[in-house]
Chain A
Amino acid sequence: MTTSTVEFHQTGDLTAGNRLQDEQQASRQSTQQRFNSLTAGHRACQGCGEALGARFAIDKVMELTGDRAFVVNATGCLEVFTTPFPESSWNVPWLHSLFGNAPAVATGVAAALRAQGKSDIRVVAQGGDGSTVDIGFGALSGMFERNDDVLYFCYDNEAYMNTGVQRSGATPPMARTATTPIAGANPGNPFGQGKNMPLIAMAHGIPYVATATISHLRDLEAKVAKAMEIRGARYIHIHVPCPLGWGSEPADTVKLARLAAESGLFPLFEAEHGEVTDSSKIRRQVPVEEYLKLQRRYAHLFGKSADAEGIAAIQKIADTNIRRFKLLREEE
């Protein structure tokens, strides 16, 4: 059989393209050798950020462990679109139990492996923002404080997309969801609500916390690699735009992820034992409008109903992140 190398090059940012990297460093998004823990044929929407994030996260885990890892999945989009019985898109040992218990199930898997003397098999768990920051929060906090040997991935698309785009504790201010509609005096999700899960994870003092995004896949892979060098509870919070829920073009998913990072709304950083150790510097800072205007969930901020105050308030969140996580290079 003749094979041809298919290469996808990341475009639209200022990082060196794959084609300029050493063979060892270059990221291969699609080759016939790639493990593909999440295979084609699943039922995610076009342009799904979560599918991309999960594939890269789990692929890296499998690559690093030599396919010796178990994956626990919370209920949610990822679970539903990958495993409609009798089909499964997972090429890995995969276990789903409930919406709110993935961290505890993963603890049980890790405990069983320890009891069986098979701790060389690693355990990862994954869920969306609803299961992570809301319904499974207690279980996740318990897993963190016990420092159980589990790497947990949160794929954050900022609302309950699987049930039809309702607000979660990770929904950003002003965003329209089915339960924070554009109606009344204060349209969209209120300011002053929601939780910052990476900071909460850090407050547990666990060995490793990182944020990552699907526009920076090599950064994401590097963070997974870092996490896998460590034993104990680890947390990686991955920003995954959702065309369906955000009202954006499927083709803009990666672009939106990049704009979220470049505006400062989604800071990319790492922390060890509760202290920030590094953050990714913004190469080309953009105002939040550039990010917001591509999403119909923020449509009420623009056009006839233009809300300059609202946009300014969101810009303030970005500015705070930039200061807090030192996202801009110091002036030379």
Chain B
Amino acid sequence: MPSQPGKPSQVEGSIAIAHAIAACRPEVICAYPITPQTHIVEALARMARLEQLGNCQYVNVESEFAALSVCIGASASGSRAYTATSSQGLLFMAEAVYNTSGMRLPVVMTIGNRAIGGPINIWNDQSDSMALRDAGWIQLHAENNQEAADLHIQAFRLAEQVNLPVMVCVDGFLLTHAFEQITLTDQEKTDAFLPPFEPIQALNIEEPMSIGAMVGPEAFMEVRYLNASQFDESLEPIQSISEEFAALFGRSSGGLFEHYHSEAAQTVVIALGSVNGTIKDVVDNLRDEGASIGSIKISAYRPFPAAQLREALSQAERVIVVEKSFFSGIGGPLFNDVVRSLENSGIAHYSVIGGLGGRAILKKSLIEIFRNGMEESLEPLSFIDLDQKVITRELLRQRAGSHGK
């Protein structure tokens, strides 16, 4: 185990995240195994066994639904609680996901982003956290493992400041299982940055209260309205906490979003997560050829920084949204969010879907797509490296009525 705080060392992303969680002094950790989140919680289970986490209780449970429910109980009792999951696990706990935010419990959860089935697929895309994007949780996305670790420290601070749960989304395998140069979390700085959890409301014997009452038609709308407006207001603390973190730790993790040569670019690529690394390389190549292109990495996906993004894109002529999730009916959710924030701006917009189920997004494919975009010859919706031969063959077969044979 590399252990020189303050200096970068070669570690796996999951291990770096586990170290960050440990530095946040959680009191209850509860998780259920699902690939690719496992290495994070395995590392934390070992630390708990070795009594490196103080009084922290590591609870092994029978399902993700129970894992988040244990966190609900712990958080409602005034303890800092953490869980991690992926894919089917997130969907299996969906009811508790909404319940956590509805009860304003500041639980922090890592999503090791993975495709959702069927067909079953264990590899990376972002359809899991996207499926729960409107569940009232703040969502922060990491580009690399340094950010992945650092965002967790900010996540606890943020969650406990605004009384909302936070998901930190980390691309499965591409980050969780990748070894990178990472500066492991410094305990002293973390303690300075993250004060002990002081809940606004928790079970206590001095003042018995009922938490989780049934709310009828006479008050439910107001509860929902207040939740939503306070959720939207958390954009400001996301930004300020991010700046405070950067000042103390000497490294930034994105804030709401981060420009890459995009302030004055005609074409701006917008994406979430680890694919931003590849996009930046491609932007560099195209800029070397003289193209006016840049990219924006969205770090805070929920709440969506719509007004700030619109402002940031005031010079752009077109945006190309690259994303790793795709839903029947709506298409790419990030694209929809971007389009909504650009309403009546006259900025052209293209939706590009790629990397579903773990398919690699290659530089050469992005270069071609971005060039087409800059020449206005890109389709409104396109798919990176979709095998058209397979699609055509299947469609023909189905139309001929031979499917199922």
Contacts and interface: CB of A to CB of B under 8 A. Distances in A.
A85 B216 contact: yes
B352 to A, nearest CB: 38
A170 interface: no
A97 B203 contact: no
A121 B205 contact: yes
Contact of A104 (B70, B203, B215): B70
Interface string B69-108: 1111111111101000000000000011001000100000
A141 to B, nearest CB: 7
Interface stretch (B57-65, B233-241, B335-343): B57-65
A117 B72 CA distance: 19
B50 interface: no
Nearest to A67: B205
B59 A107 contact: yes
A92 to B, nearest CB: 5
Interface string A242-278: 0000000000000000000000000000000000000
A79 B214 CA distance: 8
A83 B208 CA distance: 14
B72 A94 contact: no
Contact of A108 (B71, B95, B103, B214): B71
A98 B81 contact: no
B55 interface: yes
Given A85-B219, A112-B77, A116-B78, A101 B62 contact: no
A216 interface: no
Contact of A98 (B69, B205, B209): B69
A95 B76 contact: yes
Contacts of B174: none
A90 B65 contact: no
A20 interface: no
Contacts of B219: 85-86
Interface string B96-130: 10010001000000000000000000000000000
A115 B79 contact: yes
Nearest to A102: B69
A108 to B, nearest CB: 3
Contacts of A121: 205
Contacts, number: 166
A138 B62 contact: yes
Contacts of A86: 213, 219
B28 interface: yes
A67 B213 CA distance: 21
Interface residues of B, number: 43
Contacts of A96: 210-213
B319 to A, nearest CB: 40
A283 interface: no
A82 B210 CA distance: 10
Contacts of B209: 88, 93-94
B27 interface: yes
Contacts of A314: none
B97 to A, nearest CB: 11
B151 interface: no
Contacts of A146: 59-61
B72 A97 contact: yes
Contact of B74 (A92, A108, A117): A108
A109 B74 contact: yes
Contacts of A139: 62-63, 65-66, 69
Contact of B205 (A93, A95, A106): A93
A70 B203 CA distance: 7
Nearest to B105: A97
Interface in B298-329: none
B164 interface: no
Contacts of B76: 95, 97, 105, 108-109
Interface string A125-145: 000000000000011011001
B251 to A, nearest CB: 31
A94 B103 CA distance: 14
A84 interface: yes
A88 B208 CA distance: 11
B30 interface: yes
A106 B205 CA distance: 16
A83 B214 contact: yes
9 contacts: A83-B212, A83-B213, A93-B208, A96-B211, A98-B69, A103-B66, A104-B73, A112-B28, A115-B27
Closest 8 CB pairs of A and B: A108-B73, A96-B212, A104-B69, A142-B62, A112-B79, A101-B69, A108-B70, A112-B77
